Amino acid sequence: MSAAQSGMASGNETGLAGGTSYAHVKDGEVDTRHGAILYLDDITVSFDGFKALNALTLDIGVGELRLIIGPNGAGKTTMMDVITGKTRPDSGTAFFGQSMDLTRMSESTIARAGIGRKFQRPTVFENHTVFENLELAMKTNKTVHATLRAKLTGEQREAIESTLELIRLKGEVHRMAGLLSHGQKQWLEIGMLLIQEPKLLLLDEPVAGMTDAETERTGELLNELRGKHSLMVVEHDMDFVARLATGSTVTVLHEGSVLAEGSMAQVQSDQRVIEVYLGR
Ligand SMILES: Nc1ncnc2c1ncn2[C@@H]1O[C@H](COP(=O)(O)OP(=O)(O)OP(=O)(O)O)[C@@H](O)[C@H]1O
Ligand SMILES: [Mg+2]
């Protein structure tokens, strides 16, 4: 039994903590008093009898940068699908903080509750500038036209400025997003997610297709987020993973469950990990 299950308030339809047992937790706020932002417990997902996830159990701490590695088909993306409500597990529990039952929330409710997801391919508004993309991300509930006409508050402008700095696109602020390099588009999308202040950010193979220089800068960027955001990063690029590994836990998935977990050095010297993944 995970910590999430003991003494948790039952999740309701809206996915908000609400209710009497956590009266001091504001509506929509994630209850992380036990130190974790995410609890996956005994999750199984089957596709036509094939178990893409098989009794997967994994917790993520608040402010943690968790690295996830493992061979193709290990279930890494499926795990993110479960967390974001895209795929429902056959069994097991998935909790966001102590009280939000992700398996009972819709994808949009989960996103609003504070789980952001970066898919592999960049999805930016190509015909809008970098600045406008960030502006649009900040106010996702309006039409493009209404958002770009509405005046930004000083605070919003500052948020955009600091995000531009973080994603290294200050010099490209008025450029059409469609003209950016692949790596720059990826950074822009990360910025668009960050500006929505997610409590947990999931990144699926963020450096795939990037140049070496872009990969290195992405590593720096994610290191800057450490402690400020809770992050789950799936990656095959082991040089990149190694660059983020100091102070991080690495989880190795294999055949839908956790094969090994620990420091980079620990998993790298694990004979089973070498056999199924690193030694290929
Ligand atoms: N919608 C689906 N229908 C059927 N099978 C699926 C579906 N989604 C995933 N699978 C299968 O589940 C297994 C796990 O896939 P998943 O995409 O989660 O792996 P992954 O660890 O992300 O791999 P990769 O490193 O290649 O991205 C694979 O065998 C895949 O073919
Ligand atoms: Mg995948």
Q: How far is the CA of 250 from the centre of ligand 1 (A)?
A: 20
Going residue by residue through the chain, which has 280 residues, state the pLDDT in tens, using 9 for 90 and above.
Answer: 343 333 333 333 333 333 333 334 444 578 888 889 999 999 999 999 999 999 999 999 999 999 999 999 999 999 999 999 999 999 999 999 999 999 999 999 999 999 999 987 778 999 999 999 999 998 766 666 676 777 888 888 999 999 999 999 999 999 999 999 999 999 999 999 999 999 999 999 999 999 999 999 999 999 999 988 999 999 999 999 999 999 999 999 999 999 999 999 999 999 999 999 988 6
The best mutation among 43, 44, 46, 47 to test binding of ligand 1, ranked by most ligand atoms within 8 Å of the C-beta, falls on 47
Residue nearest to atom 18 of ligand 1 (CA): 75
Q: Tell me, what's the pLDDT at 5?
A: 38
- Which ligand 1 atom sits nearest the alpha carbon of residue 253? 21
Q: Cβ contacts of residue 106 below 8 Å, gap of 6+?
A: 15, 85
The pLDDT value recorded for residue 28 is: 56
Which of 45, 46, 78, 205 most suits a substitution to test ligand 1, by most atoms within 8 Å of the C-beta? 78
What was the pLDDT predicted at 34? 81
pLDDT of residue 262: 97
Residue nearest to atom 7 of ligand 1 (CA): 47
Length in residues, the chain: 280
254 CA distance to ligand 2 middle (Å): 12
Residue 158 near residue 221, CB atoms below 8 Å: no
Pocket test for ligand 1, best of 69, 77, 86 (most atoms within 8 A of CB): 77
Protein residue whose Cα sits closest to atom 17 of ligand 1:
77
Nearest to 83, CA basis, from 53, 115, 60: 115
Closest atom of ligand 1 to 79 CA is 18
pLDDT for 74: 98
CA-nearest residue for atom 27, ligand 1, is 72
| Cα–Cα dist 103/91, whole Å | 10
Is residue 195 within 8 A of residue 160, CB to CB? The reply is yes
> The whole model's pTM is what?
0.87
Ligand 1 lining (C-beta closer than 6 Å): 47, 52, 70, 72-78
